[in-house]
Structure 1
Amino acid sequence: MNKNKWNWLFLILGTTIILTLGIGRIVQIENNYKANQKIIEPCIDNGGTVVLDQRILRLSSVTCESNNN
């Protein structure tokens, strides 16, 4: 193959890898959002406090702390 064909091959391969990883990450974020919503809504309905554990480059998680007065 000449150099131009190799460049196109690497371009297509690189683009495919980036798109696949991006779509996979979007799916992870959506699933994490749904899981967090299942914790957040009942927590607020029962008068609890939602605590967000947010991390850089990782999915965030939530916990519920009850407000016992």
Structure 2
Amino acid sequence: MKLGYHLGYWQSGPPEGALEAARLAEELGLDSLRTALGTEREGPSHLFGTADFAARVAAFREKRRPDFSGR
């Protein structure tokens, strides 16, 4: 089973503690980090501009599984 964490709806920026929650989710080995966006400018890719996150977003948009075999 794969587990993810939902950061909630971002109307005008990330909720308080979002970065810490994302780091903890990664440390715990959760598979994904999700949010409902009010605006792309303040979205998770703006705050968490990591390669893994970008790969997951690209895979989601292309409806395929991300490949992290090079990790």
Same fold at TM > 0.5: no
The structure having more radius of gyration, on CA atoms, is 1
- Bigger helix share: 1
TM-score, normalised to structure 2's length? Answer: 0.28
Higher relative contact order (CA 8 A, sep 6+): 2
